[in-house]
Amino acid sequence: MKTSIHRRLEQNRAWLEERLQRNFDVVIQDIEHDGKKTAFLVYIEGMADSEAISDHVMAPLLRQEWDHISASQREEAGDFETVLEAVFSGNGAVFFDKSDKAMIVNVRGGTRRGVEEPNSEAVIRGPREGFIENLRTNTALVRFKIKSPNLKMESFTIGTETHTQVVLAYMEDIVDPGVLKEARERLQRIHIDGILESGYIEEFIEDNPYSPFPQFQYTERPDTAAAQLLEGRFAIFVDGSPFVLMAPVTLMELLQASEDYYERFMIGSMIRILRILFTLLALYLPAIYVAVMTYHQDMIPTHLLLSIAAAREAIPFPTIVEALIMEVSFEALREASIRLPRTIGQAVSILGALVVGQAAVEAGIVSAPIVIIVSLTGIASFTIPRFNLAISLRMLRFPMMILAGIFGLVGIVVGMVLIGTHLARLRSFGVPYLSGLGPASPKDQHDLFIRAPWWRQLTRDHAIAHRNRKRMSPPGNRPPGSQEGSP
Amino acid sequence: MMRACRFAARLMLLPAMALVVAGCWNRTEVNDLAIVQLTSYDWEDDQYRIGVSFPLVSQMSGTQGGGGGTGGKEGQNNYLESAKAPAIRDAINHVQRKLSRRLYFAHRRVLLIGETAAERGVKPILDTLSRYPENRISTYLLVAKDSALGLMQTPVLTERVTAEMFREILVNIMKEPVTARDFIHAILTEGVDAYTLVFKRTKTDTPGKEKADTVEIDGLAVFRDDKMVGILEGQFLDGTLLALGQLNRPVVTAVLPEGGGPITAQFLEMTSRIEPMVNGDDIRMRITFSGIVEINSNETDTNLIHYEVNNEVTKAIERQIQKEVSAAVGELQTRFKADVLGFGSSVKRNHPGVWKRIGDRWRDLYPKVPVEYRFNIRMEHAGTLKNPIHHKAGEY
């Protein structure tokens, strides 16, 4: 299938011109010497660094000093397909007269967004740099953190048209080889014309595509990615996406934020417990409200019931309808404000707060308690650090509410059992989704509900890094106060 | 794809089920409930008169809108309805027929039983109460002086709901106010007789101001089996509650032997233990009071800082308690012959063999059982003042 390069320069040029016709961004630059064409250079305007081309490629070529082409990587290619792929990745290709090899020079450049603070995962304490769309920058950002030859990065090219470069990164001495082999195979099985975001890859290689729960974690933060690599997970970088995928993932892992590890352990643990509590609220609160208000009024403290009853007195809708209306409008409000530019987004939230919140309550269309419940649920879902988990819980809230509206607390219990069994069955690259809880592992408790101080976290997560669990050796990590001579 | 379809089909079943089960399912919105707070049971003309009271939530303060409610004065937040029938449940049904909302008893705070109904026996009331799970037996059970319905109609100004008035007074005074559960338990236990508090309607007592209605504790209703045999009033009430260890931080006012003004002491904590001392067929009871006390007021000329004086004061307090309690116990033993303090059951628990012999005769033995008192009271501190405030410095 491959078209090999001809020894005659003219013929090569003609082939390329035909293949690349009507491509205004392709530049074919002839090098003439003594009135004779001796070589030509192909590159894509905008993707290649024009300064590198003129200084390090064109200048030596014009001086006929072939060996002085000083681009950082030089490769030889014998066929046009390799050349084209390289050129479309931003490289330059030099064809010489009387040579059936083309020289591929790395002059990649072009303008890309600079490294900025990640938008989707802000922290108070922690590094401020985030991944960008450039794969090389992203891999380098991680390499800056893990300066070890054990950090391996395997490259794949996926997408018959986009030829997107995908990098599978892992710590060779920690990762489970079985998981790695599976990941490699799943990546190789992907056949699609284009990969434009890491989400494409995620859907192709996740274990259970019909599960509402995410089986990958994604991050915009190099420190998070590095931490996950050190835990024995693998990471998938996709060129053109600032999000790096990480697996295997567990439910508890998705409830952890990078800052848990950066703040002192007591604060980290407290915040984590708070977050777990609010995660449960985000899923169950409206359902419990509906169930209790329509079936189990006896469960509410009397004074609270009287207050709620007073607020609900003139409401025309049953509680379940009221709750559904408010939840749906809240979701719509949230969706609307995400898509809009930030300036208009504020207007939307004002509209939402005023119109839906205040006016609806004052007009007696919805009751104040349901607005409180919906707001609390909304806040609760924002405490979940991973957007993909938050959104799946938000989605599951609706069936829970309907179950609660039909069957009361019995319905909620049924829903809990269904979700629970599903979670217990779910696996991410062979690792049980509830690892740590079920199968319960006492050794992992130091980083589950609480975040133990670093000097107590001697082992890595057992479910994931079962090949190499030792994180540190105890002697050098005496707990504070036990050190001799401490003041 | 198939799996997704099947899953979707199953999901679609859920709303379908809603259509099937709707109507026969017990979904109730709170707007359709009458949240009963208080019920009264009276016996008149050989029939039960049942009264129910529930708050009109739309007129309760703290909510907006509502419009027409007069609210505020005269306790118009509460809706009151009553009906008469030979059977309690029938009477409730008669009330229900006149209401647009379902009577909901799960939040009932207080049961008021009229004096005549209590004297006739409360078994029918307790039976209907405990048969239906919506009725909570953790409801406080009270006896009303005269008519329970009349007491229930007392307009209260300090609480939004009438029932709350009774409940708060009870909780303030007693450690564990008598619930229907305690009451049933006392009736069913051998060697204990049931008791509860009696409330009556009264007027506020501020000279020069218009008198308003309110409620107050009238005494202690003493039962034998399920029938009320009488009401212990005033000082006897305190004595009984002291012996039961039920008073919340009791206040005792004592006078020192050498005279002078009264000294008032408040217990920070106070418990009582009732134990039998059995010697053959000779049964004596011993009530031990333990507690920590602090002085609230001292109208004598005594400086309380001295150890010996403390001892004197403690002794005086003990004497006062013994006086009150023994008076009350005497009333219970001789006038009512009702074992409210549970002497019998303490014998049964500690000496089951003895109880087997005497259990049948307990009613006859009880009035003659001698009672002795022991004290284990410590004065924690004499207040923040050293000398009585009317002393000049250096005078002592």
Taking only the tens place, the pLDDT of each residue in A16-42 is 888 888 888 888 888 888 888 888 899
User: Which pairs count as long-range contacts for B29-32, CB under 8 Å and 24+ apart, including other chains?
Assistant: B29/A293, B29/A294, B29/A312, B29/A318, B29/A319, B30/A293, B30/A297, B30/A305, B30/A308, B30/A309, B30/A312, B30/A319, B31/A309, B31/A312, B31/A313, B31/A315, B32/B101, B32/B102
Average pLDDT over residues A344-368: 82
Between A97-101, A371-375, B272-276, B391-395, the lowest mean confidence (pLDDT) is in B391-395
Is pLDDT of B386 > 50? yes
Q: What is the C-alpha separation between A463 and A312, in angstroms, rounded?
A: 49
Is pLDDT of A478 > 70? no
What chain B residue is nearest to A361 in terms of C-alpha separation? B64
SS3 A96: strand
Average pLDDT over residues B278-302: 88
- How confident is residue B24, by pLDDT bands cut at 50, 70 and 90? very low
Which residues in B lie closer than 8 A to residue A297 (C-beta atoms)? Answer: 28, 30, 33, 35, 104, 106-107
Is pLDDT of B306 > 80? no
Task: Note whether B29 contacts A318, CB cutoff 8 Å.
Answer: yes
What chain B residue is nearest to A210 in terms of C-alpha separation? B4
SS3 A198: helix
Q: What is the pLDDT of residue A131?
A: 94
Average pLDDT over residues A440-461: 84
Q: What is the pLDDT of residue B22?
A: 53
Average pLDDT over residues A170-188: 93
Which residues in B lie closer than 8 A to residue A295 (C-beta atoms)? Answer: 26-28
Selection from B68, B70, B32, B161 nearest residue A313 by Cα: B32
Provide the ipTM.
0.81
Q: What is the pLDDT of residue A234?
A: 95
Give the tens place of pLDDT for each residue, A400-410. 999 999 889 99
Between A152-156, B61-65, B380-384, the lowest mean confidence (pLDDT) is in B61-65
- Say what the pTM is: 0.84
Task: Note whether A210 contacts B30, CB cutoff 8 Å.
Answer: no
| CB-based burial, B235-247: b 16+ in 10 Å, e otherwise | ebbbbbbbbbbbb
What chain A residue is nearest to B35 in terms of C-alpha separation? A306
The residues near A312 (Cβ < 8 Å, ≥ 6 apart) are A293, A319, A367, A369, B29, B30, B31
Is pLDDT of B394 > 60? no
Q: What is the pLDDT of residue B13?
A: 72
Task: Note whether A297 contacts B109, CB cutoff 8 Å.
Answer: no
Q: What is the C-alpha separation between A46 and A59, in angstroms, rounded?
A: 20
State the smallest CA–CA distance between residue A395 and chain B in angstroms.
Answer: 14
Q: What is the pLDDT of residue A1?
A: 66
Selection from A150, B99, A209, B64 nearest residue A200 by Cα: A209
DSSP per position, B287-331: EEEEEEEEEEEE-SS--TTSHHHHHHHHHHHHHHHHHHHHHHHHI
- How confident is residue B71, by pLDDT bands cut at 50, 70 and 90? very low
Q: Which residues on neighbouring strands pair with residue A459, listed in sequence order?
A: A470
User: Which pairs count as long-range contacts for B273-278, CB under 8 Å and 24+ apart, including other chains?
Assistant: B273/B245, B274/B243, B274/B341, B274/B342, B274/B343, B274/B346, B275/B346, B275/B350, B276/B343, B276/B346, B276/B347, B276/B350, B276/B351, B278/B347, B278/B350, B278/B351, B278/B354
- How confident is residue A486, by pLDDT bands cut at 50, 70 and 90? very low
Task: Note whether B65 contacts A312, CB cutoff 8 Å.
Answer: no
Task: Note whether B3 contacts A294, CB cutoff 8 Å.
Answer: no
- The tokens of A178 are what? 């079985």
Q: What is the C-alpha separation between A269 and A286, in angstroms, rounded?
A: 27
Percent of chain A with pLDDT over 70: 97
Chain A contact for B63 (CB, 8 A cutoff): yes
| A245 secondary structure, DSSP code | E
Give the tens place of pLDDT for each residue, A301-312. 988 998 899 888
Chain B contact for A84 (CB, 8 A cutoff): no
Q: What is the C-alpha separation between B55 and B74, in angstroms, rounded?
A: 13
Average pLDDT over residues A115-131: 89
Is pLDDT of A110 > 70? yes
The count of CB pairs under 8 A between chains A and B is: 81
Q: What is the pLDDT of residue A481?
A: 56
Q: Strands of A151-158's sheet, edge to edge?
A: A151-158, A164-171, A234-238, A244-247, A217-219
Give the tens place of pLDDT for each residue, B33-54. 999 999 999 999 899 999 999 9
Which A-chain residues 192-211 have CB contacts (< 8 A) with chain B? 210
